Each structure stands twice: as structure tokens, then as C-alpha cells.
């Protein structure tokens, strides 16, 4: 690294540290315990900057730090992923600043570089390079949180089809673990899948397979169904049902999930608002009796919605 590169990197690290110190000092742990007693004083203090605006400002610094951080520094790398994930979830993508857009692309580019493990002799275990970086990508990290977060961040920041396929496959494999399912839900993974299904990036088959895995019996099943019980999910499902290229296996998978959601009373309104109830009725009317599993699920959904 050239001296100028080192100085620029140090300056970026100082800026990042300054932002993080601001966040800590403004957090709940540093607010006055007097609370209501000093309410009048607190109201005269300058207003704290909107969290979304702070995320927009810090994202380019996080992208730069990611460029200079190796996965062989697992704790630092994981904390960077946590900060990046939090910032991405809180920025307003509809009014995204140019600097944030560039940072999002840079983050995707940096993580994409780590996707393919460097070839090592078959007799050797993955180990550190001379430069200190790891042979395995974050998708294969022994740390569940690193695996889940790196996959979700790639799905948010990358448009390249083969990279998205790798991230989706990695996520599908990781979600065999109960711990990974909890991490996926904690980091708004359902929202990421909905974005994938709405935009068509990465296709619909693997995202549906991931949803099916989450719909299996586990201690996180109810939390998953709660995450799906929102207008965004139902609108996305409605749009997916309108896709003329949706094949029978995908229809069956979607019907399984919708059947589980139809058992939740509060979701009846969402079935109506999204026109899913009408679509399901029409789908049942035109389905072949030979598609017995699909027809059974459709009848069950309509019965639950009566």
C-alpha cells in the first residue's frame, strides 16, 4: 500500500470512528436517567440527526473499511457486516443519495471478490494466505452470523446473476440450522426475499425453496409466519401468482405457505386487500384434478378464509 493510500485509509477510519462515537453517545444508554425531570431542558437541545441520514453518510466509510479488512480478522469483519447490514436496512432507497448508491455497489463488489475460494492443494485445509486473507469466502465461514449476513448483504447490493445464485444457495444451505433461521429473521431476511421476488433478480425458485425451509416446523416458525403477515408479502405473492411462467412445483410451494398463513385470522383482510383470495379461487377453478396436491391446498385456503 502506498503512503498516500495509508493516509487516506487512516483518515477514513477516523471519520468512521467519529460517526460511531456519535451514535453511541446519542444512544439510549447515554440518555439522562432523570428523564421527565429534565424534559424541559432536553427539549431545548439541538435535535439528533435522523438515523437514516446518518446511515447514508457512514455507508461510504463502511465500504472503504470493508475494502481494507480481511476475513482472517473474523471479529472485525463480522462487526463491519453488522454495521453495513444495519445501514442498508435503514436508508431510504427511494431517495438514496448518489454517494450511498456508489457505496452500495462498492460493498457488493468487495463481497463478490470473496465468493470463490482460492484453489489450494487437495491435501491441505483452507488456510491463510501470506497476505493474511482467508482462502474461504464469508459464505463458508464457520460463524453462522457471518454466513447469513454476507449472503443477505450480497442479495441487497449485487445484480450479477451468478453471484446472486451463489448467495441464495449458500443461504438455503445455512438455513438448515435453527440458529441461522433466527439470525435470518432478526436481520429482516424475509424483506430481502420479497425484494428478490418482486424484481425477478435471482429468479423465483431458490427464494421459494428458502421460504419452504423456513416454513418447516421449528422454534422460529411462528416468527417467520409473523414476518410474512404483512401487506408487502401478500402483494408480492399476488404478483407472483400472475406470472404466466410460474411452474407447478413453484405453485405448490407457494400454496403451502399461503395455506399456513390462511390459518391466521388477522390475515383474512390481507388476502382480500391483495386480491389473493380471488386469484386462488380462479386458480382452483382452472386447475386440473390431476394436480391433486395443489387443489387440496387451494381448497384448504378458501375454507380457512370463509
Domain residues for the domain of 151 are 138-226
In a domain, 192, yes or no: yes
Tally of structural domains, the chain? 3
End residue of a domain, out of 209, 226, 243: 226
In a domain, 124, yes or no: no
Q: Which of 217, 153, 209, 161 is nearest to 184 (CA)?
A: 153
In a domain, 170, yes or no: yes
Residues 282 and 295 in one domain: yes
Q: What is the pTM of this model?
A: 0.81
End residue of a domain, out of 210, 226, 242: 226
End residue of a domain, out of 201, 226, 251: 226
Q: Which of 211, 91, 99 is nearest to 156 (CA)?
A: 91
Per-residue confidence in pLDDT tens, the chain, 306 aa:
444 555 566 667 767 776 676 666 555 434 444 444 444 444 444 444 577 777 888 888 888 888 888 777 788 888 889 989 988 888 755 555 676 888 899 999 988 887 654 433 333 444 444 344 444 678 778 899 999 999 999 999 999 999 999 999 999 999 999 999 999 999 999 999 999 999 888 889 999 999 999 999 999 999 999 999 999 999 999 999 999 999 999 999 999 999 999 999 999 999 999 999 999 999 999 988 899 999 999 999 999 998
In a domain, 121, yes or no: no
In a domain, 273, yes or no: yes
Residues 189 and 216 in one domain: yes
- Do 43 and 32 form a contact (C-beta atoms < 8 A)? no
Return the HEC string of the chain.
CCHHHHHHHHHHHHHHHHHHHHHHHHCHHHCCCCHHHHHHHHCCCCCCCCHHHHHHHHHHHHHHHHHCCCCCCHHHHHHHHHHHHHHHHHCCHHHCCHHHHHHHHHHHHHHHHCCCCCCCCCCCCCCECCCCCECCCHHHCCCHHHHHHHHHHHHHHCCCHHHHHHHHHHHHHHCCCHHHHHHHHHCCHHHHHHHHHHHCCCCCHHHHHHHHHHCCCCCCHHHHHHHHCCHHHHHHHHHHHCCCCCCHHHHHHHHHHHHHHHCCHHHHHHHHHCCHHHHHHHHHHHCCCCCHHHHHHHHHHHHHCC
Residues 170 and 107 in one domain: no
- Do 180 and 147 form a contact (C-beta atoms < 8 A)? yes
Question: Which residues lie across from 134 on neighbouring strands?
Answer: 128
Residues 294 and 240 in one domain: yes
Which pLDDT score, from 0 to 100, does residue 95 have? 55
Amino acid at each position: 500500500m502506498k503512503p498516500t493510500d495509508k493516509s487516506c485509509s487512516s483518515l477514513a477510519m477516523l471519520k468512521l470512528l467519529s460517526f460511531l462515537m456519535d451514535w453511541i453517545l446519542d444512544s439510549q444508554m447515554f440518555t439522562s436517567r432523570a428523564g421527565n425531570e429534565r424534559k424541559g431542558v432536553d427539549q431545548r437541545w439541538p435535535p439528533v440527526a435522523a438515523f437514516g441520514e446518518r446511515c447514508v453518510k457512514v455507508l461510504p466509510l463502511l465500504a472503504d473499511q470493508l475494502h481494507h479488512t480481511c476475513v482472517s480478522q473474523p471479529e472485525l469483519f463480522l462487526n463491519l457486516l453488522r454495521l453495513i447490514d444495519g445501514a442498508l436496512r435503514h436508508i431510504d432507497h427511494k431517495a438514496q443519495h448518489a454517494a450511498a448508491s456508489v457505496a452500495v455497489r462498492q460493498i457488493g463488489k468487495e463481497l463478490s471478490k470473496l465468493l470463490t475460494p482460492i484453489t489450494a492443494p487437495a491435501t491441505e485445509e483452507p488456510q491463510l494466505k501470506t497476505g493474511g486473507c482467508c482462502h474461504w469466502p464469508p459464505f463458508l465461514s464457520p460463524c453462522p452470523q457471518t454466513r447469513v449476513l454476507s449472503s443477505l448483504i450480497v442479495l441487497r447490493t449485487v445484480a450479477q446473476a451468478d453471484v446472486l445464485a451463489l448467495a441464495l444457495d449458500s443461504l438455503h444451505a445455512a438455513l438448515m440450522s435453527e440458529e441461522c433461521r433466527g439470525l435470518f429473521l432478526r436481520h429482516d431476511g424475509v424483506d430481502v426475499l420479497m425484494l428478490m421476488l418482486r424484481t425477478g433478480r435471482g429468479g423465483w425458485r431458490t427464494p421459494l425453496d428458502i421460504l419452504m425451509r423456513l416454513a418447516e416446523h421449528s422454534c422460529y416458525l411462528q416468527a417467520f409466519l409473523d414476518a410474512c403477515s404483512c401487506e408487502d408479502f401478500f402483494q408480492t405473492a399476488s404478483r407472483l401468482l400472475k406470472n404466466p411462467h410460474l411452474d407447478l412445483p413453484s405453485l405448490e410451494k407457494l400454496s403451502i405457505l399461503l395455506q399456513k398463513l390462511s390459518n391466521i385470522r388477522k390475515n383474512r383482510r390481507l388476502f382480500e386487500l391483495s386480491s389473493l383470495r380471488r386469484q386462488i379461487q380462479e386458480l382452483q377453478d382452472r386447475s386440473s384434478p390431476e394436480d391433486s396436491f395443489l387443489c387440496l391446498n387451494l381448497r384448504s385456503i378458501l375454507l380457512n378464509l370463509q
